[in-house]
Amino acid sequence: MNSVLATPVTLGSHTLQNRIIMAPLTRMRAGSELEPTALNADYYRQRATAGLIITEATQISQQGQGYPGTPGIYTAKQIEGWKKVTEAVHEQGGTIFLQLWHVGRISHSAIQPNKQLPVAPSALAAHGKVMLPDYSRVEFETPQALMIEGIKAIIKDYKDAAQNAKTAGFDGVEIHGANGYLIEQFLRTASNQRTDPYGGSIENRAKILFEILEAVLTIWPSGDTGIRLSPLGTANIAAEPDPYPLYDYVIKNLQQYNLAYLHIIESRESVAGTRPPEHETNLTVEDLSVKHFRTIYKNPIIAAGGFDKQKAEATIEKGYADAVAFGRHFISTPDLPYRLINGIPANPYDRSTFYGGSSKGYTDYLPSDTAEYAERKN
């Protein structure tokens, strides 16, 4: 008890009941038209004791989609589906933001409009494999480099999606600027070799991020808008050789927008430089990148990636972040806030049910206040 995680925190226009955030988690269980279903509403309802739920990444257009079964926010049916989700969470007294997503080159012509090649800053293929609608994996294709009109169309799609999120009853939106997707593809030198105003200097590579942000801010107040970045991340993309000048520039400039929060994913690397199989880093609180970014960003910060109770508490107590997001533990543990605050272990998670499927590994994890849980535990 007396955990700092249990204390309220104000992020922009929202005062949250605790500092435990549900991280955005792709689960690939949307309906046949990529609309959220009653099953998805149940899943979020079960997790509504989070101080804030950030939804799974949600594509702003068909072009923005990169995986099977991920929900969209660009059709009337999808908006209706999300309404069921926001109503379910609000009935439980929860707060929920929609994560706005465009995957850029992390896609395949098989799921793109008119079977076109995916779009990206430059015609450079991602390394590794992409998942097709039948869940098989093939090498990434070389994407088509976006023309200026294409960039403008994407910014418009963000604006429309932000409006749709409002219609669907969300409390706010988070711009997904992390994990190797479109915005990060523009930020990073490995994927952006443009010679126009969207490439070259740090300022140019960050231009689309600020244009997207400003488009979203024509729909949502800044206090209802957050952004997620992964400065040291290597998911779907090569590490930036020298990430700090780039991310210091971006984060310093974000300061002036007075956003609800800046959401930072910590590196998965261990201090020794080896990549653990899971997100089990051996980074201490003093090794976290938020310690550095806190010095240049004074508004609320959410930290994410490899946290447990002690590390989350210490990170907040030292002032490096205001709240902490949990991913995998929220998948397996609907009542994670209660458990963290009371020192009760989270349920083990089953990686094989992370992506796709039905209620198994999705809505069938038990909260600790059920007799069934007590029985199963014994």
Whether 181 is catalytic: yes
Measured CA to CA, the distance from residue 54 to residue 28 in angstroms comes to: 15
Q: Applying CB under 6 A, does 41 fall inside the site for ligand FMN?
A: no
Site pattern 256..295 for ligand FMN (x: CB under 6 A): ---------x-------------x----------------
Q: How far is the CB of 197 from ligand FMN (least distance, A)?
A: 27
Select the residue interacting with ligand FMN from 11, 25, 206, 336 (CB under 6 A).
25
Q: Could you tell me which of 180, 172, 170, 350 has the C-alpha nearest to residue 265?
A: 180
Asked if 12 contacts 261 with a C-beta cutoff of 8 angstroms, the reply is yes
Q: How far is the CB of 375 from ligand FMN (least distance, A)?
A: 28
Select the residue interacting with ligand FMN from 36, 64, 180, 306 (CB under 6 A).
306
Q: Could you tell me which of 172, 169, 188, 189 has the C-alpha nearest to residue 180?
A: 188
Q: Applying CB under 6 A, does 326 fall inside the site for ligand FMN?
A: yes
Site pattern 45..84 for ligand FMN (x: CB under 6 A): -----------xx---------------------------
* Residue of this chain nearest to ligand FMN (CB atom): 327
Q: How far is the CB of 58 from ligand FMN (least distance, A)?
A: 8
Which one of the listed residues 43, 67, 181, 297 is annotated catalytic?
181
Question: What are the Cα distances from residue 42, in Å, to 159, 272, 357?
Answer: 28, 41, 15
Interacting stretch for ligand FMN, rule CB under 6 A, among 74-82, 173-181, 212-220, 337-345?
173-181
Q: Applying CB under 6 A, does 179 fall inside the site for ligand FMN?
A: yes
Q: Per CB under 6 A, which of residues 117..156 are in contact with ligand FMN?
A: none
Q: How far is the CB of 123 from ligand FMN (least distance, A)?
A: 25
Total site size for ligand FMN, rule CB under 6 A: 22
Select the residue interacting with ligand FMN from 24, 71, 172, 177 (CB under 6 A).
24
Please identify, using beta-carbon distances, which residue of 145 and 225 lies nearer to ligand FMN. 225
Please identify, using beta-carbon distances, which residue of 192 and 281 lies nearer to ligand FMN. 281
* Cα torsion 56, 330, 225, 258: sign: negative
Please identify, using beta-carbon distances, which residue of 99 and 122 lies nearer to ligand FMN. 99
Report the C-alpha dihedral over residues 220, 226, 229, 235, rounded to 10 degrees: -80
Burial of 371 (0-12, 13-18, 19+ CB in 10 A): exposed
Please identify, using beta-carbon distances, which residue of 99 and 315 lies nearer to ligand FMN. 99
Site pattern 84..103 for ligand FMN (x: CB under 6 A): ---------------x----
CA 340 to chain centre: 21
Cα-only R_g, the chain: 20
Q: How far is the CB of 280 from ligand FMN (least distance, A)?
A: 8
Q: Applying CB under 6 A, does 228 fall inside the site for ligand FMN?
A: yes
Q: Between helices 76-91 and 38-46, what is the axis angle to 10°?
A: 30
Select the residue interacting with ligand FMN from 231, 327, 334, 337 (CB under 6 A).
327
Strand 144-145 and strand 9-11: pairing?
A: unpaired
Q: Applying CB under 6 A, does 328 fall inside the site for ligand FMN?
A: yes
Active site residues: 181
Q: Which residues bind ligand FMN (CB under 6 A)?
A: 23-26, 56-57, 99, 176, 178-179, 228, 265, 279, 304-307, 326-329, 354
